[in-house]
């Protein structure tokens, strides 16, 4: 039941309603009726809430701003930046809709608009951002429940790159060459490869967190706020020892200032091109660290601990399949199925046949030579007789 009245004054739509005996009449400042209805409906709902002493339900864009203000000093800067971008540029028709009036149809229509210029992965990220603020509104008692339920889209998984062990040394040399004037980049790359640190954890890494006697490093600023020690491999200790300091940042710019996010990418991409390792990013170095530990037989519980994951399922996402064990298993199965012996017999038969053919050619060569020599001797004798005659 609509409890407000819309009417036009010139080109603009106005609304009128009455709450608790008080009459309210204002302009919607809209010239399109369906947009004016949204403004009028929200004004009517807000007026009813104010009359009951409750705070009005915010629009989706206002809810984003409230979430950012409440979490700006709690979550990462990258997360805040992402939420600001969604709130400012990518809410489309949802921006001015009261969050309690959101529907599946409205969310899906806005997502279709987003997908016109963005990938499906971006569409899922967009939807997760809206879910974050709506769930937060429920916890803050702004909403009783989330009024919509839209599922994420299924995505085609892509092959993920890990740094091959055989190319690791050459790859690091290429990183050093690309970052000759920025030694902090070389240090950060080795911290990511040897300790599985995230890039931002290398930016905040400090010398006092490195225990030289025990050979461990304890990150003091992490994503999950953990402070678990990680064993430092000997090759990394040897690399860091000449640079050792009592305190301060381990990775810095040439000016001594802290590095900014993404500072390792240029050198890494140059090394990728030189070593023909495509798609290796700073975070895939972390995946390489986890995968190599798994291939060496380290249990997933231990990998989860050094990766600082709260859920083992998160650790499983980082691990790539050990294809070497699959190759060994395939070889054993081939032997049991008799296919391995058959292949050996086929190869041996080819070698025997080839050897026989070669022997036949070798034994025929002397006979051919003898025939050629006898023919030349007969021809010489004939020429001699004719000259004498």
pLDDT digits (tens, 9 = 90+) for 200-220: 999 999 999 999 999 999 999
Alpha carbon 48 to its chain centroid, in Å, reads 47
| Length of the chain, in residues | 389
pLDDT digits (tens, 9 = 90+) for 180-198: 999 999 999 999 999 999 9
Closest CA to 98 of 152, 41, 175: 41
Sign (positive or negative) of CA dihedral 31, 32, 35, 37: positive
Structure tokens at 27: 């302009």
How far is Cα 89 from Cα 67, in angstroms, rounded to an integer? 16
pLDDT band at 18; cut points 50, 70, 90: confident
Supply 274's token pair. Answer: 């030189």
DSSP string, 297-338: T--HHHHHHHHT-SSHHHHHHHPPP-HHHHHHHHHHHHHHHT
Domain boundaries, the chain: 5-51, 60-139, 165-320, 340-389
DSSP 8-state class, residue 387? H
Fold entry, domain 165-320: hpI Integrase; Chain A (1.10.443)
Beta strand extents in the chain (DSSP E only): 5-9, 12-19, 22-30, 210-211, 216-217, 230-231
Answer whether residue 344 shows pLDDT above 70. no
Range with lowest mean pLDDT among 59-63, 252-256, 333-337, 369-373: 369-373
**How high is the pLDDT of residue 380?**
42
Q: Give residue-wise pLDDT tens across range 283-339.
A: 999 999 999 999 898 999 999 999 999 899 999 888 876 666 777 777 887 888 887
The backbone region for 182, taken as left when phi is positive above 0, alpha when psi lies in -120 to 50, beta otherwise, is beta
- pTM check: above 0.75: no
Give the tokens for residue 121.
């992965």
Position 382 pLDDT exceeds 80: no
Q: What percent of the chain has pLDDT over 90?
A: 59
CA–CA gap between residue 343 and residue 334 (Å, rounded): 10
Q: Please, which residues have CB within 8 angstroms of residue 118's CB and are 6 or more apart in sequence? A: 126
Across the range 112-129, mean pLDDT stands at: 96
Note the pLDDT tens digit of each residue in 135-162.
999 999 888 889 999 999 999 888 788 9
- Residue 186's nearest CA partner among 201, 198, 200, 174 is 174
Backbone phi and psi for residue 28, each to the nearest 5 degrees, phi listed first: -85, -15
**Residue for token pair 């400090």:** 206
Give the range among 44-48, 87-91, 272-276, 319-323 with minimum mean pLDDT: 319-323
Least-confidence region, from 51-60, 107-116, 273-282: 51-60
Of the pLDDT bands very low, low, confident and very high (cuts 50, 70, 90), residue 22 is: confident
């Amino acid at each position: 039941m609509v409890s407000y009245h819309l009417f036009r004054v010139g080109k603009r739509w106005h609304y009128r309603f009455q709450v608790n005996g008080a009459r309210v009449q204002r302009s919607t400042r809209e010239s399109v009726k369906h947009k004016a209805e949204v403004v009028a409906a929200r004004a009517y709902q807000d007026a009813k809430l104010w009359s009951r002493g409750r705070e009005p339900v915010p629009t989706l864009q206002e809810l984003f701003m409230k979430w950012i203000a409440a979490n700006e000093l709690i979550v990462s800067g990258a997360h805040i930046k992402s939420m600001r971008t969604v709130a400012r540029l990518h809410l489309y028709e949802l921006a001015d809709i009261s969050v309690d009036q959101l529907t599946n149809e409205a969310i899906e229509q806005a997502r279709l608009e987003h997908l016109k210029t963005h990938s499906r992965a971006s569409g899922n990220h967009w939807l997760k951002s809206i879910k974050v603020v709506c769930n937060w509104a429920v916890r803050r008692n702004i909403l009783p429940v989330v009024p919509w339920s839209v599922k994420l889209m299924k995505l085609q998984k892509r092959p993920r790159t890990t740094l091959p062990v055989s190319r690791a040394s050459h790859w690091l040399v290429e990183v050093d060459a690309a970052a000759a004037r920025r030694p902090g980049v070389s240090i950060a790359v080795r911290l990511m490869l040897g300790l599985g640190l995230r890039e931002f954890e290398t930016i905040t890494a400090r010398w006092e967190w490195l225990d030289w006697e025990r050979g461990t490093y304890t990150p003091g600023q992490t994503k999950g706020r953990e402070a678990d020690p990680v064993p430092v491999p000997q090759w990394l200790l040897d690399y860091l020892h000449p640079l050792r300091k009592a305190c301060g940042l381990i990775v810095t710019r040439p000016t001594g200032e802290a590095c900014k996010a993404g500072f390792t990418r240029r050198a890494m991409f140059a090394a990728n091109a030189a070593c023909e390792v495509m798609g290796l990013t700073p975070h895939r170095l972390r995946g390489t660290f986890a995968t190599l530990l798994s291939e060496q037989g380290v249990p997933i519980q231990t990998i989860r601990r050094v990766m600082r994951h709260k859920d083992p399922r998160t650790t499983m996402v980082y691990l790539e399949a050990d294809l070497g064990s699959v190759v060994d298993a395939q070889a054993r199965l081939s032997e049991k199925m008799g296919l391995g012996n058959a292949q050996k017999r086929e190869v041996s038969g080819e070698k025997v046949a080839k050897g026989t053919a070669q022997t036949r050619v070798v034994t025929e060569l002397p006979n051919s030579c003898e025939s050629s020599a006898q023919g030349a001797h007969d021809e010489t004798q004939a020429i001699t007789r004719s000259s004498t005659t």
